[in-house]
Amino acid sequence: MTEQTTSSRSAGRAQDASPWAAGFIAFAGVMMIMAGAFQSLAGLVAIFENEFYVTTPNYFLQFDATSWGWIHLLMGLLVLFAGFAVLSGQTWGRVVGITLATLSAIANFAFIPYYPFWAMTIIAVDIFVIWALAAHGRDLAAM
């Protein structure tokens, strides 16, 4: 009796999985790869061209542009690799993706005085990635 209930639950779950969910997860994975690559490039610019970013005086998180460069380079590479894990359907990739997207949004919030438009764009992408991975992550595993 329990085997029939378990098999009917898993069959119902596979039918409940939406192609929209798979699309959202695939889009989130691609956005993670793109955002990670762009964030890494922004980090490389800060490392090699220290005067590219203009700082705002009296901001509570004042780092040297080179420090921000290393932060963005490492964060970007981690997000990029987590995006590949999400696209391959790894459960740990979704967990790491949500965690890294949260950390990326926080880092870019602190980066707003240096490059406001870029930081706000990455924060918006991170919010979408968090939503897609949290809301539809299990649906992709069921397909």
- pLDDT tens track for 94-136: 899 999 999 989 988 888 887 888 889 989 989 999 998 888 7
Burial of 42 per CB tally in 10 Å (0-12, 13-18, 19+):
buried
**Structural domain includes residue 112:** yes
**Structural domain includes residue 9:** no
**Domain carrying residue 36:** 19-142
pLDDT, mean over the chain? 79
Q: Which one has a higher pLDDT value, 20 or 74?
A: 74
Nearest C-alpha neighbor of 83 from the set 45, 130, 30, 38 = 30
Total domains in the chain come to 1
**Structural domain includes residue 77:** yes
134 and 30 Cβ atoms separated by less than 8 Å: no
Q: Residues near 14 by Cβ (< 8 Å), separated by ≥ 6?
A: 142, 143
Q: Residues near 40 by Cβ (< 8 Å), separated by ≥ 6?
A: 72, 73, 76, 77, 80
Q: Which one has a higher pLDDT value, 61 or 73?
A: 73
**Structural domain includes residue 86:** yes
**Structural domain includes residue 43:** yes
30 and 83 Cβ atoms separated by less than 8 Å: yes
What is the rounded CA–CA span in Å between residue 37 and residue 14? Answer: 34
